[in-house]
């Protein structure tokens, strides 16, 4: 009977809450309803996590970057600085005060030995009872490289090749113990079954790692592997290794093309379409009426500092100095960056398609940094999500609240009930682990 109910249940969408400081909009911190000091307060993040858990989100999600960007301090001081707590530390503390919600941390493969990464996630998975996900990124800026004994970043293709090896090492370390290795037999004096400890002995292009970790196998086998890179290299890595992809797509057509293309790339890896969930980012601006929502958005747009807007474009277009181009002229031709390639392409495509000047482009992306913006009532937002979800453009969405905490409150109080009414989203958690929330299988141990 139970099985029949499950089988006939409507396909459910997945929701992530992307929590970035006091909100995603470039001017969020200047909004009168926002306390910008919250960006460094643990009780603020704790409260956001509880709100998302009340809304039955699959997971909360923290981005990351490794340092302070280049540029004159006077420019940075205007707010380009992403001043947040280190994600794994913050999520470990949040794990202690939440019960069910998934916890996804961004950690770059570029400058952290894989042994440390594998161990931290194994510990976090342990203490959260299987609720962790790792958003794998490679660091794409020179200013991050300079905090780690380098002058410049590693080239794009090489970074992704290293990341592939990195994931192999990390999985091999997570598999260092059989699920049933630990015995704790006090009488026999046998802590574990000696046949069930697996030394990795990895020797690759970049890493030599013996293993295993000092820990048991993670509760989920592996924490859920998430990726955001949408370039060619990024998609190839995702097809091989990711279970969730956070992507940025502007139109339904683009979304469908990306979705179909990436799912197809799973086939040569012997993976089912269901084994990778595609969750585009959406920045919802929610009002009780369409006009109220539009007014909210205009209020935020009016707070954008033009100097910051251009600074944002500089960063996302590949550290090009745009100051020599007229602000009301077109976006110039750009060389392919070794930085964030997919984001550069997305911005240029957007400008060409909508015939935007540099000024119009930064106004257009200041809210969501290239993610889709949906402005309107809860019904309108739900319509927009449903449209992508039922038309093959998304398995779910990563929600980017424009301001925090209010943007998240609005979504949980207004949009989530509407999605639930439509039978598109859970009303209670059924599973315990993040894998169970997302409908992902627990991976087998490669050594067995």
> Which run of H or of E encompasses 202?
strand 202-203
Residue from 9, 89, 274, 298 binding a copy of itself (CB under 8 A): 89
List the interface residues with a copy of itself, window 60-79 (CB under 8 A): 65-68, 72-74, 76-79
Residues 329-363 as b or e (16 or more Cβ within 10 Å = b): eebeeeeebbbbbbbbbbbbebbeeeebbbbbbbb
Q: Any residues with CB less than 8 A from the CB of 394 and at least 6 apart, and which?
A: 13, 255, 259, 278, 279, 280, 385, 388
Is position 30 an interface residue for a copy of itself (rule: CB under 8 A)?
yes
Is residue 57 involved in binding a copy of itself (CB under 8 A)? Answer: no
Among positions 133-152, residues that touch a copy of itself (CB under 8 A) are 143, 146-150
Between 265 and 301, whose beta carbon lies closer to a copy of itself? 301
Q: Is residue 402 near a copy of itself by the rule CB under 8 A?
A: no
Within the chain, how many helices (H) and strands (E) appear?
Answer: 17, 13
CB 239, CB 262: distance < 8 Å: yes
Q: Are 276 and 245 in contact (CB under 8 A)?
A: yes
Residue with tokens 């200047």: 30
Residue 387 lies near a copy of itself (rule: CB under 8 A): no
Binding mask 292-321 for a copy of itself (x = CB under 8 A): -------------x----------------
Q: Which of 47, 111, 295, 327 binds a copy of itself (CB under 8 A)?
A: 111
Give the shortest CB-88-to-a copy of itself separation in angstroms: 7
Minimal CA–CA distance to 87: which of 65, 70, 67, 72?
65
Q: Minimum CB separation from a copy of itself for residue 26, in Å?
A: 11
Rounded to a whole number, what is the distance in angstroms from the first to the last CA of the chain?
34
Determine whether the annotation assigns residue 230 to a binding site. Answer: yes
Q: 143-170 b/e with 16+ CB inside 10 Å = b? A: bbbeeeeeeebbebeebbbbbbbbbbbb
Nearer to a copy of itself, 8 or 149 (CB): 149
Using CB under 8 A as the binding rule, whether residue 258 contacts a copy of itself is answered as no
CA dihedral (261, 263, 267, 270) in degrees, to 10, reads 150
* 110 marked among binding-site residues: no
Which whole-number Å values give the CA distances from 52 to 61, 132, 404, 411, in the listed order? 11, 15, 12, 9
Q: Shortest CA distance to 182 belongs to which of 216, 142, 152, 218? A: 216
Residue 386: alpha-carbon gap to chain centroid: 21
Q: How far apart are CA 14 and CA 133, in angstroms?
A: 14
Among 154, 158, 182, 265, binds a copy of itself (CB under 8 A): 182
Q: Does the annotation list 106 as a binding residue? A: yes
- The verdict on 404 binding a copy of itself (CB under 8 A) reads no
Name which position in 3, 5, 195, 323 contacts a copy of itself (CB under 8 A): 195
* Structural contact between residues 366 and 360, judged by C-beta atoms closer than 8 angstroms: no
Q: Which is nearer to a copy of itself, 30 or 364 (CB)?
A: 30
Whole-angstrom distance, CA of residue 233 vs CA of residue 159: 9
Distance of CA 192 to the CA centre of its chain: 36
Kindly tell me which residue out of 192, 325, 429, 447 binds a copy of itself, with binding defined by CB under 8 A: 192
By CB under 8 A, how many residues form the interface with a copy of itself? 76
84 binds a copy of itself (CB under 8 A): yes
The correct pick among 81, 240, 260, 273 for binding a copy of itself (CB under 8 A) is 81
Query: Of 150-179, which residues contact a copy of itself (CB under 8 A)?
Result: 150
**444 is a site residue for a copy of itself (CB under 8 A):** no
**Dihedral (CA of 231, 232, 237, 239) sign:** positive
Of residues 265 and 363, the one with the C-beta less far from a copy of itself: 363
Least distance from a copy of itself to the Cβ atom of residue 165, Å: 12
Tell whether residue 160 is among the known ligand binding residues: yes
Torsion of CA 226, 124, 19, 142, to 10 degrees: -70
The span from the CA of 326 to the CA of 185, in Å, is 74
Whether residue 297 is annotated as binding a ligand: the answer is no
Min dist. Cβ of residue 363 to a copy of itself (A): 16
Q: Is 403 annotated as a binding residue?
A: no
CB of 3 to a copy of itself, least distance (A): 33
Site residues for a copy of itself, 37-56, by CB under 8 A, read: 37, 40, 42, 46
In the complex, minimum distance from the CB of residue 116 to a copy of itself, in angstroms, rounded to a whole number? 6
Question: To the nearest whole angstrom, how small is the minimum distance from the Cβ of residue 164 to a copy of itself?
Answer: 17
Residues 198-227, interacting with a copy of itself (CB under 8 A): 207-216
Q: Which residues are annotated as a binding site?
A: 64, 106, 156, 160, 230-231
Q: Which residues are annotated as a binding site for FMN?
A: 64, 106, 156, 160, 230-231
């Amino acid at each position: 009977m139970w099985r029949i109910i499950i089988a006939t249940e409507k396909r459910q969408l997945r929701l992530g809450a992307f929590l970035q400081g006091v909100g995603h909009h470039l001017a969020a911190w200047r909004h009168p309803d926002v306390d910008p000091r919250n960006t460094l307060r643990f009780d603020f993040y704790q409260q956001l996590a509880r709100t998302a858990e009340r809304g039955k989100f699959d997971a909360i999600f923290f981005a990351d970057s490794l340092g302070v960007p280049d540029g004159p301090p006077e420019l940075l001081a205007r707010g380009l600085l992403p001043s947040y707590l280190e994600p794994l530390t913050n999520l470990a503390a949040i794990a202690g005060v939440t019960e069910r919600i998934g916890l996804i941390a961004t950690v770059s493969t570029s400058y952290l030995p894989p042994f440390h990464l594998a161990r931290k996630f194994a510990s976090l998975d342990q203490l959260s009872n299987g609720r962790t996900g790792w958003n794998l990124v490679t660091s794409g800026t020179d200013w991050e490289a300079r905090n780690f004994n380098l002058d410049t970043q590693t080239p794009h293709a090489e970074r992704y090749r290293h990341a592939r090896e990195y994931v192999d090492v990390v999985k091999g370390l997570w598999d260092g113990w059989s699920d049933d290795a630990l015995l704790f037999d006090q009488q026999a004096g046998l802590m574990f079954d000696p046949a069930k400890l697996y030394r990795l002995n990895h020797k690759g292009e970049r890493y030599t790692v013996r293993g295993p970790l000092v820990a048991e196998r993670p509760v989920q086998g592996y924490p859920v592997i998430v990726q955001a890179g949408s370039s060619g290299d990024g998609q190839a890595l995702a097809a091989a290794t990711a279970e969730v992809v956070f992507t940025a797509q502007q139109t339904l057509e683009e979304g469908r093309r990306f979705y179909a293309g990436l799912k197809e790339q799973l086939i040569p890896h012997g993976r089912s379409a269901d084994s990778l969930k595609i969750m585009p980012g959406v920045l919802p601006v929610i009002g009780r009426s369409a006009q109220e929502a539009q007014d909210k958005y205009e209020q935020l747009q009016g707070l954008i500092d033009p100097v910051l807007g251009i600074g944002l474009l500089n960063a996302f277009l590949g550290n090009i100095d745009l100051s020599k181009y007229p602000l009301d002229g077109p976006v110039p031709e750009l060389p392919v960056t070794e930085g964030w390639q997919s984001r550069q392409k997305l911005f240029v495509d957007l400008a060409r398609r909508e015939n935007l000047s540099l000024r119009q482009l930064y106004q257009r992306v200041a809210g969501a940094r290239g993610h889709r913006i949906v402005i309107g009532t809860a019904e309108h937002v739900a319509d927009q999500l449903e449209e992508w979800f039922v038309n093959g453009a998304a398995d779910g969405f990563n929600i980017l609240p424009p301001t925090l905490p209010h943007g998240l409150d609005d979504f949980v109080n207004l949009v989530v009930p509407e999605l639930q009414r439509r039978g598109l989203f859970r009303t209670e958690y059924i599973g315990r682990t993040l894998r169970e929330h997302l409908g992902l299988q627990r991976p087998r141990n490669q050594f067995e």
